[in-house]
Structure 1
Amino acid sequence: MDINKKRTPKREEAQMVPQPVRGEPGLVHVDTTWGIIQPLQVRENVRTVDEIEIGEFQEKGLPIIDARTSGFYEVSTIPGAKNIPHDEITDRMDELDRDQPSIFFCNGPQCPQSPTAIHNLLEAGYPPEKMLYYRGGMHDWVTLGLPVVKNT
């Protein structure tokens, strides 16, 4: 059975990124109804990473790619992330550092934007060993209380 059919029915207005509860530091609202659950491994030879590895990339100044559309990026993102939307990724492949692997993320485990970017890059001939997938995305990043930056 499709795991997505077991989920709570979708709300009319999705809230894809957990939002702070006013006056309650460390507490966020999470919408569990949107999207389609993505696999843990997006493609063969593309390794899935966690928050600890993102922290290491941040410390070393290595590439972290926010594959969400620019409207999401402008509201908030992981510090140090560069926005290359999934629907522009193949046109902007020259902006990727082929000497270092890049971590790709989107809104979370139910978001298809970074998996789409990775699939498109693979089809365009980009090497899988130069891509890492952070499946947790903004959903897990925010719910773990990690910092975000606003780009507005």
Structure 2
Amino acid sequence: MRRTLHLTTLVLLACLTLSISAFAGDNMITPTLESVEAVYQGKPISIYRGHDRDATLPEIFQKTDRGCPPFCVQPIVAIEGVETIGELEVLGYLKRIAQGESNIMVVDSRTPDWVMRGTIPGSVNVPWNKISRDSAGTFETPSEADTFDHILEDEFGADRNAETGEWDFSEAKTLVLFCNGIWCPQSTANLKTLVGIGYPTYKLKWYRGGMQDWVSVGLTTVQP
């Protein structure tokens, strides 16, 4: 009887200790991952999860009724062959970039007004309307086409044959695109544009959850 009571007491104490340590300790990303080192605007930055247990979503991400179209729920697969990824995979790409892999880019597809409210450390802002074409597959003005070509060459690492006009993506970067969340069509539009001109699908990744999911789990954000 005494032994049973003793064992019961030990179990209760162990549970209480675990409970207290869970609240008192660090808010880990995973059981074995506390933080990820990234580089943002040339400076190192650590990505953690927030430690405020009373934290809530920013007001801009609390709204649920946004109107469809254009803010329709996006499919789990944006384009066949383009991998849909989550937060841990994004963190993995950010870590690789910080370690010197220059053939990867995490792309914030949102317009600058959204980016100024907070973005993922290590991402680069390439607004969706700078590279998305109209329904006919063209740009409205020559300047838009020039901007698109500039982004493909100088930002994404593609090369265009001056004689044939054809794009060579053999040295192009792997792009990880995201926008505001599963209701945001901006990164999806960019994926369609890029695949439409021949960008290899295996070099395109889509973080479907976007900023809304990122902040919902308390991961670090930065304001440019």
TM-score calculated relative to the size of structure 1 = 0.78
Amino acid across the alignment from 1:49: I
> Where is the helix percentage greater, Structure 1 or Structure 2?
2
Q: Which amino acid aligns with 1:27?
A: T
Tell me, in whole angstroms, the C-alpha distance in 2 between the residues paired with 1:115 and 1:93.
Answer: 17
Distance 2:78 2:152 in 1: 19
Q: CA shift at 1:99, angstroms?
A: 4.6
The Cα of 1:53 is off from its aligned counterpart by 0.6
Partners in 2 of 1:66 and 1:86 — Cα distance?
8
Task: Report how many aligned residue pairs link the two structures.
Answer: 129
2:63 maps to which residue?
31
Q: CA deviation at 1:89?
A: 2.3
CA distance in 2, matches of 1:32, 1:150: 24
Superimposed CA distance per residue, residues 33-68 of structure 1 (whole angstroms, 9 cap, x where no aligned partner): 112100011000000011001111111114100011
Which sections of structure 1, spanning at least 5 residues, go unmatched? 1-22
1:122-141 superposed matches below 5 A: 122-141=195-214
Provide runs of 4+ in structure 1 moved above 3 Å. Answer: 97-100
Residue of structure 2 in register with 1:74 after alignment: 116
Structure 2: segments with no counterpart, 5+ residues: 1-51, 98-103, 133-147, 158-170
How far apart, in 2, do the equivalents of 1:81 and 1:51 lie? 13
- The correspondence for 1:65, drawn from 98, 107, 129, is 107
* CA gap 1:75/1:99 in 2 versus in 1, 3 angstroms: same
CA RMSD after TM alignment: 1.8
Within the candidate set 113, 116, 126, 2:189 is matched to 116
TM-score, L = length of structure 2: 0.54
Distance 1:99 1:122 in 2: 13
Is the radius of gyration larger for structure 1 or structure 2? Answer: 2
Bigger Cα displacement from structure 2, 84-93 vs 115-124: 84-93
For 1:25 and 1:93, the matched residues in 2 are separated by 43
2:116 counterpart SS class? helix
